[in-house]
Amino acid sequence: MKLKQATKETKELYKNLKQKNINCILGYNKKDKYIDIYLPDSKIYIEIDDLLHCISPKQIIIDFKMLSPSKNNFYTVSIPNLVLEEHVDEISDAIVEVVKMRE
């Protein structure tokens, strides 16, 4: 699988989570899919997506399948780059709270 380049928004969220002592991995390859940020302790995948994931019906259907919980109790959260640009601090704070609930 080809390694995807992390966006500046992805890197910023990763940096914020690390500063808040969240165990996370930037750019994780899981079999047939690439995870932008992986939180192994809380079983969360974070996908940072572009606008196509919000405006393409075909992509939305693909994302429905990917965002469903897996049999191993992993969950995926999808965050648009456009939202992350303006709200990285609020988003990282919310993720920290979710991590606390999942652990």
Within a domain: residue 27? yes
Residue 82: domain span: 8-98
pLDDT tens digits, one per residue of 58-70: 776 766 666 666 6
Per-residue burial over 41-79, b = 16 or more CB atoms within 10 Å of its CB, e = otherwise: ebbbbbbbbeeebeeeeeeeeebeeeeeeeeeebbbbeb
Within a domain: residue 70? yes
In this prediction the pTM is 0.81
Within a domain: residue 1? no
CATH at 38: 3.40.960.10
pLDDT tens digits, one per residue of 19-37: 999 999 999 887 777 889 9
Domain count for the chain: 1
Confidence of residue 1 (pLDDT cuts 50, 70, 90): very low
